[in-house]
Amino acid sequence: MQFFVFGNRDLYIHLMRMLLIAVLLLPQALFAQAVRVAAATDLQPILPTLAAQYEKTTGVKIIASYASSSTLATQILNGAPQDLFLSADFGFAQKVIDAGHAEDAAPIRYATGTLVLWARRDSAALGGKPITLELLKSPALQRLAIANPDHAPYGRAAMAALTSLHLMDTLRPKLVIAENIAQTAQFADTGNTDAALISLTLASSTALRGHGSFAELPVGSYPPILQGAVVIRNAANVKAARAFLNYLLNPAIQSKMAEMGLGLGQ
């Protein structure tokens, strides 16, 4: 089969080469406009809203992956391609720093977490009554979900709170350990447990607020959940990651985060 090209043949070849180069570079150009964020599970109800607003304003897409802070830190140390780590506590962010994988010399506090007791309103343990912390002392409470304290800061906070309130001996046999707080909430939401100790962000989400209620644990009953962030060293988009972190630290965004269940950061 014979093809005919009309016009300057050299110009045609040049244009085709330029087009091919443009096509090959397109994915990289698009990727450069994205920030990959390793985000603690308590951010799952709120980060999509903030990310959508940021993308609308700047054109930079935020690609978030959610897991327990321990899991995310391990992934980063093993070379996972992330630009920004939003940990649910300082400890796992510091672990990334100590391993030489962070641009920052210390975790940057972007929020403070709050621990709550959550249950479905139709939970048999409530007996039709509003939820209070007295539920933790009730014999009707047979199964209580908490996040794995080895992996999740909210799990450690839950263990500390139960110990501080002198409830650990009674409740230890009733504890059901979940991988992270999202799974912890799921256990209570599906009726596999009577209640759960989770983050205020999850308890305030549309999904859980619709058919459940919560009571906050006394702040002094567990160590402060100081949530720390680090920009990943040698990441593909260090500057863009820093810009998004600065956006989260903006007072207006901090106030919005507080409305969705996260205490103020710096």
Q: What is the pTM of this model?
A: 0.83
pLDDT at 183 over 60: yes
* CB distance 108 to 138 below 8 Å: no
Res 18: pLDDT: 52
Res 227: pLDDT: 97
Res 266: pLDDT: 60
Mean pLDDT of 245-253: 96
Mean pLDDT of 92-120: 96
Torsion sign across C-alpha atoms 85, 264, 90, 151: negative
User: What residue segments make up the domains of the chain, in order of their start?
Assistant: 29-112+224-259, 115-216
- Average pLDDT of the chain? 89
Each residue's pLDDT tens digit, 187-236:
999 999 999 999 999 999 999 999 999 999 998 999 999 999 999 998 99
pLDDT at 179 over 90: yes
Each residue's pLDDT tens digit, 116-161:
999 999 999 999 999 999 999 999 999 999 999 998 999 999 999 9
Res 196: pLDDT: 98
Domain 29-112+224-259 superfamily per CATH: Periplasmic binding protein-like II (3.40.190.10)
Res 14: pLDDT: 47
CA-nearest of 213, 223, 250, 92 to 156 is 223
Tell me the three state secondary structure of residue 133.
helix
**Residue 125 CB-half CA count within 13 A:** 27
Identical topology for domains 29-112+224-259 and 115-216: yes
Quickly list H helices, the chain.
9-32, 47-58, 69-77, 90-98, 153-164, 168-171, 181-189, 200-203, 206-209, 238-249, 251-259
Res 151: pLDDT: 87
Res 31: pLDDT: 44
> Kindly report the CA angle at 197 between 196 and 199, in degrees rounded to 5?
120
Each residue's pLDDT tens digit, 12-58:
444 445 544 443 444 444 445 799 999 999 999 999 999 999 999 99
pLDDT at 8 over 70: no
Q: Considering the chain, what percentage of its residues have pLDDT values greater than 70? A: 87
pLDDT at 261 over 70: yes
Res 134: pLDDT: 97
Res 33: pLDDT: 73
In Å, the largest CA–CA distance within the chain is 88
CATH second-level architecture of 115-216? 3-Layer(aba) Sandwich (3.40)
